[in-house]
Amino acid sequence: MNIYQLKNDIRIQIRKHKEEGKTIGFVATMGYLHEGHLTLVQEAKRQCDLVVMSIFVNPLQFGPSEDFDRYPRDIKRDRQLAEEAGVDYLFLPTVDEMYKEKPTMAIHITQGTDVLCGASRPGHFNGVAMVVMKLFQIIQPDKAFFGLKDAQQVAVIENMVTTFEVPVEVMGVDTVREKDGLAKSSRNVYLTKQERVLAPKLYEALSAVKKKVEQEPESYSRDEIVKVVKNKLEELPLGDIDYVEALPYPSLEINEQLSGKILIALAYKFAKARLIDNVIVSMERRENEHVTHNDESKTS
């Protein structure tokens, strides 16, 4: 595994590979790697000739009350995990290197960040977009892989790439789950025994509504979807709903009448762990379902 700290050095190296016709897959991280990151690497390796990973704790995406300095870091362990996972290039810039030229402008996202987790983190996604845009310019990947556990982040990056015509394909990779369906998260260790037994119910609620909406998309508005999920969650004897939302994906623009691809997302607070989860659902009726329906109506 090759390790670079300077923007220009890695840029030159990657450009050489692109000239040889190699495809570049990119996994952007803030380090402290876990199974989710390693799944992204696996997917990138499956789809691309070379995999570049960045580890950079981006100060721009931390709010004043979120402690940038206390974000967990373990570069030695990360280097080993990245190497074992088969990363070809590891980019490890310092904050000074990344923001060497003081930014003279910023990315101001105008849609999709005042909902879901973005509502309680003003400015967070502007900071994410800024660093991801810079990383895309430095690495120039063909495909960039992000976990759908944070579907709002993937949506924001997809919208950024569309808005600025960035020639990168954004690949949302499915959430890694425990056997019982609970989304893997470093926060799961904070669950009590009883909470851990209940936690898979979050994904069960999402999966149940996904099935219903896919079967009968015309019967569900945003309000109804939210109500079905909330009713299920309210049956849980512990914890509180933070939010449940259903939004068009990737625009995330609030709309009562939903169609096409939608994101159904929730955040749920147990005593010491706030868990998030989501599903992406297609509200498009499939062609053959129309045919069957029409045929039935003809004979009845």
**Under rule CB under 6 A, residue 29 binds ligand PAF:** yes
Alpha helix ranges (H) inside the chain:
7-19, 35-47, 75-85, 95-98, 124-139, 151-163, 193-198, 200-215, 222-234, 287-299
Q: What minimum distance in Å lies between the beta carbon of 30 and ligand PAF?
A: 4
**C-beta closer to ligand PAF: residue 58 or 159:** 58
Select the span of 5-13, 22-30, 101-109, 184-192 touching ligand PAF (CB under 6 A). Answer: 22-30
Sequence-distant (6+) residues with CB within 8 A of 209 are 225, 228, 229, 232, 264, 279
Q: Please select the residue that binds ligand PAF; options are 53, 131, 155, 276, rule is CB under 6 A.
A: 131
Q: What minimum distance in Å lies between the beta carbon of 157 and ligand PAF?
A: 7
Unique residue bearing structure tokens 């950024």: 160
Q: Is 258 helix (H, G, I), strand (E, B) or coil?
A: coil
Q: What is the identity of the amino acid at 64?
A: P
**C-beta closer to ligand PAF: residue 58 or 278:** 58
**C-beta closer to ligand PAF: residue 153 or 175:** 153
Q: Please select the residue that binds ligand PAF; options are 3, 30, 133, 238, rule is CB under 6 A.
A: 30
**Under rule CB under 6 A, residue 128 binds ligand PAF:** yes
Q: List phi, psi (to 5°) of 134.
A: -65, -45
Q: What minimum distance in Å lies between the beta carbon of 227 and ligand PAF?
A: 31
d(CA 198, CA 202): 8
d(CA 9, CA 3): 10
Q: Is 45 helix (H, G, I), strand (E, B) or coil?
A: helix
**Under rule CB under 6 A, residue 58 binds ligand PAF:** yes
Rounded to 5 degrees, what angle do the CA atoms 147, 152, 153 make? 60
**C-beta closer to ligand PAF: residue 132 or 226:** 132
**Binding to ligand PAF in span 135-164, by CB under 6 A:** 153
Q: Please select the residue that binds ligand PAF; options are 44, 48, 132, 170, rule is CB under 6 A.
A: 132
CB 35 within 8 A of CB 176: yes
**C-beta closer to ligand PAF: residue 130 or 205:** 130
d(CA 33, CA 225): 34
In sequence order, the β-bridge partners of residue 274 are 269
Select the span of 66-74, 85-93, 126-134, 231-239 touching ligand PAF (CB under 6 A). Answer: 126-134
Catalytically active residues, by annotation = 37
**C-beta closer to ligand PAF: residue 153 or 185:** 153
Select the span of 76-84, 127-135, 239-247, 281-289 touching ligand PAF (CB under 6 A). Answer: 127-135
**Contacts with ligand PAF, residue ranges (CB under 6 A):** 28-30, 58, 61, 128, 131-132, 153
